[in-house]
Amino acid sequence: MEHVIIIGSGPAGFTAAIYAARANLKPVLVASSVETGGELMNTTDVENYPGFPEGIMGPDLMARMQQQAERFGTEVLYDDATSLDLTGPVKKVTLGSGKTLEAHSLIYATGSAPRKIGIEGETRLSGYGVSYCATCDGFFFRDKTIAVVGGGDSAMEEATFLTKFASKVYVIHRREELRASKIMQERAFANEKIEFLWNSEVADILGEDAVSAVVLRNTIDGEEREVALDGVFVAIGNDPRVHLVHGQLELTPEGTVHVDGRSSRTNVPGVFAAGDVIDPTYRQAVTAAGTGTVAALDVEHYLASLGDAGAPDPEEAAIDGLPEVE
Ligand code: NAP
């Protein structure tokens, strides 16, 4: 029986692991069988994470977080949680490998997944010119004409990044004002390769085996027109990954996991949540890391309330080869 299982390997999951490991709780972190590190694995320079004045690449930051969590005794499993049983005092996690884990407590930090436009051409041509990750797929669009859909920070970041490869980048936004922060807007406005198509929504994405054009609908007068291009990057936000807890944890009207005030406590005792999966508003790496800290501290209090059952074994407390931790 584990003290705590953490589901998710983004900034929230790894920060929770660092704190829980330093409290000698020997956390087991389920990191995914596909990619460890969460959303920051799909980004380039992270310029706003404190402590890195020159910026740091997203994947490098996540690798450092993982090293820090492992240094204090976190066990990282490269596997997927496929179902959870959160009822009762013992929390059960079934993994893709078929193995089942059991713990006194669980931290749910599964983050969020890219939102889809929800049109036929998008699904059909996904991977054939439709992408949700500029850093993953930008390379394939050297000297091509592409579009980024969205008006937030992600769209500006992707559009600016994609100008390294593409000859032209349209930004398709449904309004005539961006949601992105001022610095990201200014960077995109100053880039000669970027052209903004305002008040436009993507009605369809065309192409036989690969994207050849988009059909844009004007959001003011409804008029439609075709724009020829080779690729479409969708950056219209993210939705919290709550599929594993549907029917088990209370959700908010925004679809995130409901937590009690500024704590990480869900409506189920012993189950805590952190990161983008609880946050419909701020969704920054540093805020996710902060809520990961909250979750680990809440777990400590919860386990202490269980008495001997949840307490870390003093025999296990000294982690081999490590300096004393405070
Ligand atoms: P976001 O801020 O929610 O922006 C989503 C954008 O997509 C909005 O412009 C929205 O339009 C548009 N949109 C939403 N649904 C749409 C639909 N169905 N069809 C067409 N357009 C649609 O999401 P985000 O850009 O992914 O950013 C999420 C969070 O991460 C934010 O807090 C952001 O600051 C942060 N972030 C920060 C950085 C950075 O600091 N370097 C980088 C990336 C993300 P409306 O504006 O009309 O609603």
Nearest to 27 by CA among 73, 88, 95, 80: 73
Q: What is the DSSP letter of 323?
A: P
Nearest to 200 by CA among 178, 179, 224: 224
Span between the terminal Cα atoms of the chain, in Å: 25
Residue type present at position 244:
L
> Can you tell me the distance from the alpha carbon of 103 to that of 2, in angstroms, rounded to the nearest whole number?
4
Mean pLDDT, the chain, integer? 93
The whole-number pLDDT of residue 42 equals 76
Q: Is 269 in the pocket of ligand 1 (CB under 6 A)?
A: no
The whole-number pLDDT of residue 260 equals 98
The backbone region for 234, taken as left when phi is positive above 0, alpha when psi lies in -120 to 50, beta otherwise, is beta
Q: Provide the β-strand partners of residue 299.
A: none
Burial of 319 (0-12, 13-18, 19+ CB in 10 A): middle
Helix/strand number for the chain, H first, E second: 7, 19
Q: Is 42 in the pocket of ligand 1 (CB under 6 A)?
A: no
Q: Is the dihedral of CA 236, 33, 244, 273 positive or negative?
A: negative
Let me know: does 104 contact 309? Beta carbons within 8 Å. Answer: yes
Q: Is 162 in the pocket of ligand 1 (CB under 6 A)?
A: no
The arithmetic mean of pLDDT across residues 294-307, rounded, is: 96
Q: Where does the pLDDT of residue 314 fall: very low under 50, low under 70, confident under 90, or very high at 90 and above? A: low
The whole-number pLDDT of residue 320 equals 45
Q: Is 136 designated active site?
A: yes
- Given the residues 60, 79, 80, 133, the one annotated as active site: 133
Token readout for 186 is 């200014």
* Continuous segment of H or E residues that includes residue 196: strand 194-197
Q: Give the residue, out of 133, 236, 239, with the most ligand 1 atoms within 8 A of its beta carbon, to mutate for a pocket test.
A: 236
Count of positions (residues) in the chain? 326
Q: Is 150 in the pocket of ligand 1 (CB under 6 A)?
A: yes
Q: Give the residue, out of 154, 158, 183, 204, with the most ligand 1 atoms within 8 A of its beta carbon, to mutate for a pocket test.
A: 154
3-state secondary structure of 11: helix
The whole-number pLDDT of residue 325 equals 43
The whole-number pLDDT of residue 136 equals 78
The whole-number pLDDT of residue 319 equals 46
Let me know: does 193 contact 166? Beta carbons within 8 Å. Answer: yes
Distance (Å) from CA 232 to ligand 1 centroid = 16
The arithmetic mean of pLDDT across residues 134-147, rounded, is: 92
The whole-number pLDDT of residue 133 equals 87
The arithmetic mean of pLDDT across residues 34-53, rounded, is: 88
The backbone region for 250, taken as left when phi is positive above 0, alpha when psi lies in -120 to 50, beta otherwise, is beta
Q: Which residues, at least 6 apart from 310, have a Cβ–Cβ distance to it below 8 Å?
A: 3, 104, 105, 302, 303, 304
Burial of 280 (0-12, 13-18, 19+ CB in 10 A): middle
Whole-structure pTM value: 0.79
Token readout for 20 is 């829980």
How do residues 152-186 score in pLDDT, each as one tens digit?
Answer: 999 999 999 999 999 999 999 999 999 999 999 99
Q: Is 153 designated active site?
A: no
How do residues 191-245 score in pLDDT, each as one tens digit?
Answer: 999 999 999 999 999 999 999 999 999 999 999 999 999 999 999 998 999 999 9
Please state the atom number of ligand 1 nearest to the C-alpha of residue 151.
9
Q: How many CA atoms lie within 13 A of 178 on its CB side?
A: 24
Instruction: Give the pairing type, strands 168-172 and 200-206.
Output: unpaired
